[in-house]
Amino acid sequence: MTKTNKILIILVILLVIVQGGLLFFVLGLKSYQSLGQHRSLYVSKSFYDDAFSLAGDGFEIQDGEVVAVVVPHHLFVKDRIATLFRTLEKSDFDTIVMVGPDHLNDARYEIVTSGYDWQTPYGQLKGDPKLVEKFLDSGLVSTNEAAMAEEFSISGLTPFVQKTWPRARFVPIIMANYVTPGKLDEVIDFISKNVGRKTLFIASVDFSHYRSAMEAEAQDEQSIAVIQSFDLEKVFDLDVDSPQSIYTILKLAENFGATSTELLSHTNTGLIQPENPELAVTHNIFIFTK
């Protein structure tokens, strides 16, 4: 074999390796969401079955089409969470967009989403990789699957979503606690233009944290008033674990025609467990209708 032939063979091999690597990279960029999978916070079906067994027939709500909800992710009140989803189970949604805090603020990005599926005790909750890919292309959000996997404001609620709407697509979004209203407005505008009318928006948010029971009650009075009046200017002063999520859900609710909101449930661990009155966590469930 001549020296020239050897060089040609080496060049061909290198070209194949480079093309193969490039193809893998491109396919990875475009389809990584469909290849991965996250797991719900708890995999025990009995844990969630117990919650739904306590839910009864759901909350009594005013007439109107449901657009958005605020629900806690503190599973201490899993029965109240299940009651909300029982209330909504007759509503038909194609897409569920859930926003919540990045509790650890370790995602390294302001806003993170994922197109991965979620394995839950009730089966696989399908992600929406096409919408997420478009979202990523906008430059407004990023992905960090490790941060998403450990974010319990999302993973703890995925079984409730899957049990209630087993054919819906799921788009989770977590937000750092420093995201500005201007950045949120851009994200809200993108979501409003790229989802269908049969979309439910969920804010996964707990309210007052680690205050005395009475202090928490006073803080929640303010939070409830701000949310019910859609007072966006005061949202970032609230004692909640994600003002960004509340701001987002209020504006999305408005964009999709919500004209009223109703407080369905309020709970305070400092009152439920009086032995720990100085470590209260509060929960409020709201529904937005048009």
What's residue 104's pLDDT? 84
When mean pLDDT is compared across 34-38, 90-94, 106-110, 148-152, the lowest value belongs to 34-38
3-state secondary structure of 95: strand
Query: Any idea what DSSP says for residue 51?
Result: H
CA–CA separation, 134 and 185 (whole Å) = 17
Segments forming the whole domain that contains residue 189: 37-289
| Minimum mean pLDDT range among 4-13, 86-95, 100-109 | 4-13
Write out pLDDT tens, residues 228-278.
999 999 999 999 999 999 999 999 999 999 999 999 999 999 999 877 777
Claim to verify: residue 28 and residue 90 sit in the same structural domain: no
**Is the model's pLDDT at 7 over the cut of 50?**
no
Residues 135 and 279 in one domain: yes
Measured CA to CA, the distance from residue 268 to residue 131 in angstroms comes to 37
Say how many C-beta atoms besides its own lie within 10 A of residue 103's C-beta.
Answer: 17
Same domain, 177 and 257: yes
- Secondary structure (DSSP) of 232-283: GGGGGGS-SS-HHHHHHHHHHHHHTT--EEEEEEEEEHHHHSTTSTTSEEEE
Asked if residue 41 and residue 30 are part of one domain, the reply reads no
What tokens appear for 12 in the block? Answer: 């061909």
What type of residue sits at position 106?
D
pLDDT at 13 over 60: no
Find the CATH number of the domain harbouring 73.
3.40.830.10
14 shares its domain with 47: no
- Which tens digits make up the pLDDT trace of 51-85? 999 998 999 998 899 999 999 999 999 999 999 99
**Mean pLDDT of all residues belonging to the chain:** 90
Which pLDDT tens digit goes with each residue over 177-216? Answer: 999 999 999 999 999 999 999 999 999 999 999 899 999 9
Q: Are residues 13 and 79 in the same domain?
A: no
Report the candidate in 239, 236, 232 with the shortest Cα–Cα distance to residue 284. Answer: 239
Q: How many CA atoms lie within 13 A of 28 on its CB side?
A: 6
Q: For residue 156, which phi and psi values (nearest 5 degrees)? A: -70, -25
Write down the H helix ranges in 139-242: 145-150, 152-155, 158-164, 181-194, 213-228
Token output for 234 = 């005061």
- Give the chain's domain count: 2
| C-beta separation of 33 from 133 below 8 A | yes
pLDDT of residue 176: 96
Are 79 and 187 found together in one domain?
A: yes
Residue bearing tokens 């909350």: 59
Q: Are residues 71 and 180 in the same domain?
A: yes
Query: Same domain, yes or no, for 22 and 114?
Result: no
Question: For position 210, what pLDDT does the model report?
Answer: 87
Which residues, in sequence order, are bridge partners of residue 209? Answer: 281
Do 96 and 55 fall into the same domain?
yes
For 194, the token pair is: 């790229």
pLDDT at 1: 55
Q: Indicate if the pLDDT at residue 6 is higher than 90.
A: no
Stretch (H or E) spanning 28: helix 3-35
Same domain, 158 and 213: yes
pLDDT of residue 213: 92
Q: Let me know the angle formed at the C-alpha of 259 by 254 and 260, rounded to the nearest 5 degrees.
A: 115
Domain check: are 30 and 42 in the same one? no
C-alpha to C-alpha distance for 290 and 267, rounded to whole angstroms? 26
CA nearest neighbour of 253 among 204, 225, 289 = 289
